[in-house]
Amino acid sequence: MSKNSIRITGIILMMVSVFLLIGGLYLPQAAVSKIVTNICLIAGLVLLIVGIVFYKVLKSD
């Protein structure tokens, strides 16, 4: 993959992670179970870490 495509992939992953984190933090317990909110939080954190790795670490000079 080229440098730009790796960076774009990292940015997209970080954007998706923000939505998952917000959903995990602000979904009401009456609408969804606690398991769903925990899965959203964990998935958001994992995608944020992977997005940062793609954006910062895997860039080739």
For the chain, give every domain's residue range: 3-57
Cβ-contact 41, 25 below 8 angstroms: yes
pLDDT at site 22: 92
pLDDT score at 18: 94
Task: Output the six-digit token pair for 20.
Answer: 């998952």
> What's the pLDDT at 61?
54
The predicted pLDDT at position 52 comes to: 92
CA 21 – CA 25 distance, rounded (Å) = 6
Q: What is the full per-residue pLDDT of the chain (61 aa) written as tens digits? A: 788 888 899 999 999 999 999 988 888 877 888 898 899 999 999 999 999 999 888 765 5
What is the rounded CA–CA span in Å between residue 42 and residue 16? 13
At 59 the pLDDT is 64
